[in-house]
Amino acid sequence: MSRLSSGENPPPKTKAEQEAAKEMSTLLVGIISHRKTKVARLKKLAKIVRDQNLSKNMLGGIVGNVLEWYDFAVFGFFAPVIGFLFFPSDDPLTSLLGAFGAFAAAFLARPLGGIFFGYIGDQFGRKSALQLSVMLMAVPTFLIGLLPTYDQIGTLAPVLLILLRVVQGLSVGGELVGSIAFVAETAPANQRGYFGSWTFASCYGGMTLGALSAVALNSIIGAEAVADWGWRLPFLAGILIGIAGLWMRKELTETPVFEQMQAEGKLDENPVRDALQLVPGTIFHASTLVVLVGGGFYLIFVWWPTFLSRYIHPHMDHIMVINTLSMILLIGLIPIMGRLSDEWGRKSLLVTSAAGMALLSWPLLTMVAADGSLFSVIFAQLCFTVLMSAFLGPIPATLVEMFPPRLLYSSIGISYNVSLSIFGGLSPFLATWLFKNYQSVSAPGLYLTGLSILSLLAALGLSENSPGNKN
């Protein structure tokens, strides 16, 4: 019987056996340590790649948005000059109505742009839609800078102007929506509010560039030269801006969400039709929610400063400067509000800001119209800026969280653009018409209050259990 079977202890290992076991143990520890180090390095490398893709996609989505919205919004800041040149009339208000009518034409085309680019974005990728939209904006902007005026070719001038604005509207109908979908799907879920808010901040950054170009041109060459030929320069720059935007968007990578849907064969064959059939209630809800996005912004930051400085207090040259500074502050506050929406929830910020706009819109507008002092203008614009930033910051992430990914681009494209076409593009025109007929800013003030109430009701209807809301 062996020693082991009889219960005796095995013989002690020889020194050579002990050294061999020790070497084997050291080798195994080394292999395990090497694997752990290799895994850690791979994880670190993967994180660097993800961060680089996020930075690259954020930059391409946001900077392209800045450039495209500069092209689109510069028209509004030169509306008085354009009205005089393309819609001449003995009544300056009638000319301004014509210019704001052309401004509105682009917004009326936005739903078609949302449908067109929504199909492209949901079928062929967010990246493809964004690359196409930036060039579709640059070309008509450049051509507006070349247009002959009414005095040169008569009625054909305003007709061509409106047609080019319609093409711009088709482009912008897909641009911001695509940027929202692209950035939000690329960003980490717990930071969607912050990263998504940059799409709005960049949009208003482009508008601010348009405002700065108007202020700078008037300061450098004077109002007479601007009316004669200087107004063309910001539009002619559109082609260079388009080339720069396209170059930046060539380096974009597709969003992980779209790539996963594509790999799993979950892309929708007809996203526009299915969005209208499957989520019509949510589309209506989203459209009502963003009423204040278009109507509020374009009344406060585009129509009101132009109208106030031209027709109510013509001596107040500082109004446009204050408005530009307010827009810069708005751009800085929007990402902060987006970050807060990640921490506090989207609904609380949206409800609070919309309620504030409903309560303060009429008193602030009437106060500035009656007083006209520097203090009243600054105070009113500061109040509007803070309230609008609190509303605008959470909106991109809120919209993304309202719809399924396979219908996302089309659903937001329809809901957002229908609302903006009605309440954004028509608001400056309607506010001017209201003032002309009632000879008081009370009517536009009550109109802005009504828009705020609509968005407030929609915000109250948001689900408490959606990803961006905290219980």
What CATH number does the domain containing 437 carry?
1.20.1250.20
Mean pLDDT, rounded, of the chain: 82
What are the pLDDT digits (tens) for 121-140? Answer: 888 888 888 888 877 888 88
According to DSSP, residue 279 is labeled S
Average of per-residue pLDDT across 268-278? 88
**pLDDT tier at 337 (50, 70, 90 boundaries)?**
very high
User: By mean pLDDT, which of 18-32, 156-170, 379-393 is the weakest?
Assistant: 18-32
Of all residues in the chain, what percent carry a pLDDT higher than 70? Answer: 83
What is the distance between the alpha carbons of residues 157 and 148, in angstroms, rounded to a whole number?
A: 6
The range of the structural domain enclosing residue 260 comes to: 60-460
Residue at 93 is within a domain:
yes
Residue at 417 is within a domain:
yes
Burial class (CB in 10 A: 0-12, 13-18, 19+), 38: exposed
The residue to which tokens 């007479």 are assigned: 224
Residue at 67 is within a domain:
yes
CA 51 distance to own-chain centroid: 22
Residue at 121 is within a domain:
yes
What is the distance between the alpha carbons of residues 464 and 471, in angstroms, rounded to a whole number?
A: 7
pTM for the full predicted model: 0.78
Residues 6+ apart with CB under 8 A from 435: 307, 311, 441, 443, 444
Residue at 244 is within a domain:
yes
Query: Looking at per-residue confidence, does 11 or 388 come out higher?
Result: 388
Angle at CA of residue 212, ends 210 and 218, nearest 5°? 105
pLDDT at 49 over 60: no
Give the count of domains, the chain.
1
pLDDT at 37: 62
What are the pLDDT digits (tens) for 233-252? Answer: 988 887 887 787 778 777 77
pLDDT at 250: 76
Residue at 28 is within a domain:
no
Structure tokens of 88? Answer: 């001449």
Residue at 221 is within a domain:
yes
Residue at 374 is within a domain:
yes
